[in-house]
Chains A and B, each alone.
Chain A
Amino acid sequence: MTSGSYFAFKTVDWANMSAATWETIWMTIVSMIAVAILGVLLGLLLFETTASENIWVKVLNAVVSFLVNVFRSIPFIILIMLLLPITKNLVGTIIGPTAALPSLIVSAAPFYARMVELAFHEIDRGVIEAAESMGATGWQIVYKVLLPESMPALVSGATVTTISLIGYTAMAGAIGAGGLGNLAYIDGFQANNNTIVLVATVIIVIIVFAFQFIGDFLVRRIDKRTL
């Protein structure tokens, strides 16, 4: 065996590689769906509670805002350890792709929530006011104005978040969550097989590019601000 070589492709177990690839994609997509939903809800909560006169609303805004900032500043690798007991309770195990989900979601949702809040703030006040003046209810304003009018920003924010989630899955993988990160660490790094590390890297880069491409494409499709 040519240990240390980057190009010993014969040593790659392609079935394993493909299984790990799908694990990575699965973790990314499932966590991203949860992050999108949670992030929009949290972002909406932050947006709607800004600039309120009501003291309780102000308190709510301050608390949520603080929590979002705290979870955003915890390094992911530490967050996993911090959440181990909760993960164990929730998922029943701390090993495998499913076990990675709670930490992935908890770390990315606050990140995305801030982007959502920002996207809502970027909508012209006048447009929201026009909807109000037409007699729209609060919920009608949310799903007929806020969401569609900020959609390009929401999608590009989701793209950025997804890409950092892919990075997180690799990190989670290294400590037992499966996927390409896990494979690169166990079969590659620990077995001193650089080829496997290289192949896993290339696949991850391809996945990142694919998500970036899809995101950019969608943004271009839905953005009607300049035609």
Chain B
Amino acid sequence: MIEFKDVTKTFTSKDGDLTAVSDVNLNIDDGEIYGIVGYSGAGKSTLTRMLNGLETPTSGEIDINGDQITALSGIELRKKRQKIGMIFQHFNLLWSRTVIQNIMFPLEVAGMSRKARQEKAQHLVDLVGLTGREHSYPSELSGGQKQRVGIARALANDPEILISDEATSALDPQTTDEVLDLLLEINKKMNLSIVLITHEMHAIRKICDHVAVMDDGKVVEQGTVFNVFRNPKQEITKRFVSEEVDPALTDTNRIVEDLIKSYPDGTIVQLVFHGDQAKLPIVSEMIHEFPKLQVSIIEGSIHQTQEGSIGSLYLQITGNKESMDGALDLLKKMRVETEVIHRD
């Protein structure tokens, strides 16, 4: 359990004070993946750097499993840091060390014997899928592989928490997904709490349980990923969510207009999924029941969250009125929010 209580961090410099984190209260439960999202400069890194004492709060208190971080002495803090793994956007590996030597670094710091270090590091190499590359140098690895080394290194001392600060921001979409999958797998396997900082809603949606949205040092919205996605309250959250759920909303409108022109006799229907329909095969059910209908998909963006699917789907349906009405009834029965956009 991680608790931020009224945490504020103000940097003092010649040009005046800057409050990077302002009055933050957050609780992060054991074993969950907690996302923190916000634009550049929102204070995400500063907030999480206070978790392992890389920054000290100006006021407020941070507890990790009952230990108040700011009250720890130098030695105690270093011991605690061994139990807080951290991965970084630019990986921050030592280029002078091989993969396995990088992973052994935290074990050396913890004072583990050479033999035990070797064994543990090899086990971690296997865990992150780098078997066979243990004697490569970082310069010989791809970005995704480097981040795998970073993850293995962060896990070396069996941490209670893993902090990921924009760990996928330097990676391409596919590699990002691979790394996120690995994080999720580790979270499940080890019941490890993960604090995931990102500016990509995609990452939040894919693996997080809870999310906090930060803006200008403050947490402006927090809750389960599912609720925040379904019902964003703040303007900034809406912006983040819309970027993700419907990246081409204006495009869709244009397509719809075009289709209305091309198929004046067709009906265009928007289906909105809130997750509770779970995994019903809605479209195929509809075609099965009303074989006379022609159904084509115009545009869609459906996402699987940890709790169900969210998103919307635009269908163009042509056929006789009877089948059409029946189909719309069926959709209602299946509790899909249906909006008829154009009907003759």
Contact = CB atoms under 8 A, between A and B. Distances in A.
A144 B104 CA distance: 11
B137 A130 contact: no
A108 B279 CA distance: 75
Contact of A131 (B77, B105, B157): B105
Interface residues of A, number: 23
A129 B163 CA distance: 14
A226 B96 CA distance: 11
Interface string A132-143: 111111001000
B86 interface: yes
A222 B96 contact: yes
A135 B81 contact: yes
Nearest to A226: B139
Contacts of B92: 124, 126-127, 129-130
Interface string A94-132: 000000000000000000000000000000101101111
B1 interface: no
Contacts of A148: 94, 96-97
Contacts of A135: 77-82, 106, 109-110, 157
Contacts of B78: 135-137
A227 B96 contact: no
A151 interface: yes
Contacts of A149: 94-96
Interface string B153-182: 100010000000000000000000000000
B193 interface: no
Interface of A: 124, 126-127, 129-137, 140, 144-145, 148-149, 151, 222, 224-227
Given A135-B79, A135-B80, A135-B81, 19 more contacts: A127-B94, A129-B54, A133-B54, A133-B86, A134-B81, A134-B82, A134-B105, A135-B78, A136-B78, A136-B109, A137-B78, A137-B109, A144-B105, A148-B97, A149-B95, A224-B95, A225-B139, A226-B139, A227-B140
12 contacts: A126-B90, A127-B94, A134-B81, A134-B82, A135-B77, A135-B110, A136-B78, A148-B96, A149-B96, A151-B96, A224-B96, A224-B138
